[in-house]
Amino acid sequence: MECLCAHPPPSLQHLGLGHNKLLGPMESLYVTADHWPNLVSLDLGFNDLTDLQSMVASLRTLRHLRLLVLQGNPLALVPYYRGLTIDSLAWLCVLDDITVTPNERHQFRGLSLSGDLLAHEAQFVVTIGNIRGVLDTSVLDPEPGPEGPFITYSYYVTYDFLEDEEGEGNEYAGVLAEIVKPSLSSELAVEEFHEEVIEEVNGDIEESPESEAVDSGESESSEVSGRLAVLPRLTDSAEELAKLRPHIDPRLCPSPGTVLFSTVRKPWADVIPCNYEMQHTLRDLVPLKAFLLAGTTVTIVEEKILSWPVVPPAVDSPLPAKKEKGEKDKKGKEKDERERGKKEPAKEQKGPKKKKELPKNLCQDPPVLRVLGNGLVALEPLLAGEPVVSAVCNFGVVRTLASDKLTLARDSKKTKKAAKKGGC
């Protein structure tokens, strides 16, 4: 803006600089009454302005300013943006194409006095709802034998988001999300899934900036009918991640500059509840704006784990001497004859055979991940001032009548067995 201020027209009433490349806090030095004494309308929307306090301090000198547009800038992503701007510019009538009401002025009164104490950060809450329409893959697997393998399936949803560089995520360790990144220590066998559409997943995604009490308390939430599973762990370098990519479905890797977040894995059900909520606090607002323009990718993942009974190692024992062996054989025969009579009546008293229990000690193969569907959720409305973004993700239909019949037959069989046990 420096070149515009070299010879500014003194009677100019409207200045439109929206959708340009104004960057950084220094631009606020050029929007003062020294350069534009009669300015009534100013549009600075959708630039890369970052310092709200400095900008408001400069705009306060424009006594004739009535219409102002700042939305689309990183500085507008902080939760107190509208409240601080309205309280600082007492003569402002319209902010971001929304009329400033007397109730707003009363609600935000005094906020500008504590402007220097307000945190320079944006807050978002992502909420994920339910997954529907997932095929129960376990009905296609054969019954496991005593030697296994015992197969378990779980389902989850992932989405990518920016990570706070200063580690504020530690405050929210109690929530269900986990940051997941690929790691060399656990290479996952990932089944290639070549169909365009794998599964029907209905979900609501809502995202909105979380506001403080002064700014109507709206929160960003994202509800996705799906589930997030934990992906591979973290690598320390891009080279290590590149080595892993041949083994991992690229749809399970985060976009550049982001990390993956995941809900807790859950077993199959007609409706798989995710009950997921995660708060993101971000201080670097310029990359955040770029991320919101690009959107986030939501992915539904199936995790398959094969477990096998642990076979105890064989213990080598020295062979006994022939003499000792002969004596033991003789004693064993006598003992067998004595116990044979006892076992005969015992057999008659035996009831029905007990069902074989699964081995308690199992070893697991590396998880096999399969992407059931993914799609982009647009977040640009948050940048344009919308408090909430809500989306239903439909990734197609996989379940068929045949698969539903298999599921029904298996569930009916389990119900009959349970009823039979209860009757006995």
Compute the distance between CA of residue 13 and CA of residue 64 in angstroms, rounded to an integer.
Answer: 9
**Residues 218, 82 contacting (CB under 8 angstroms):** no
User: 97 with 38: CB under 8 angstroms?
Assistant: no
Q: What is the largest CA-CA distance in the chain?
A: 121
408 has pLDDT over 80: no
Residue 225 has pLDDT above 60, yes or no: no
pLDDT at position 79: 94
pLDDT score at 330: 53
Main-chain dihedrals φ then ψ at residue 159, nearest 5 degrees:
-145, 150
Residue 189's pLDDT band (cuts 50, 70, 90): very low
Three-state secondary-structure class, residue 2: coil
User: What pLDDT is stored for residue 230 in this prediction?
Assistant: 36
Q: Per DSSP, what are the bridge partners of residue 279?
A: 125
Query: Is the per-residue pLDDT at 19 higher than 70?
Result: yes
In this structure, of 58-62, 160-164, 175-179, the range with the lowest mean pLDDT score is 175-179
The dihedral formed by the CA atoms of 153, 159, 165 and 169, expressed in degrees to the nearest 10: -60
Given pLDDT bands bounded at 50, 70 and 90, which one contains residue 319? low
- Output the CATH code of domain 14-115: 3.80.10.10
Instruction: Give per-residue pLDDT as tens, 115-152.
Output: 888 989 999 999 999 999 888 888 888 787 777 788 99
Contact (Cβ atoms closer than 8 angstroms) between residue 308 and residue 362 = yes
Mean pLDDT across the stretch 332-350? Answer: 53
Alpha helices in 234-305 (DSSP H): 238-244, 285-294
pTM of the full structure: 0.69
What sign does the CA torsion over 241, 243, 245, 248 have? negative
Q: Alpha-carbon distance 28 to 50, whole Å? A: 10
Q: Mean pLDDT over all residues of the chain?
A: 75
Query: Looking at this protein, which amino acid is placed at residue 50?
Result: T
Domain spans, the chain: 14-115, 122-309+361-399
In whole angstroms, what separates CA 208 from the centre of its chain?
15
Q: Which helix (H) or strand (E) covers residue 328, if one does? A: helix 322-349
> Which is more confidently placed, 103 or 410?
103
pLDDT digits 0-9 by tens, 245-296: 445 677 778 777 889 999 999 999 989 999 999 999 999 999 999 999 999 9
CB 182 within 8 A of CB 284: no
Half-sphere exposure of 221 (CA within 13 A, CB side): 12
Calpha distance 215→234 (Å, rounded): 37
Rounded CA-CA distance 270/330 in Å is: 63
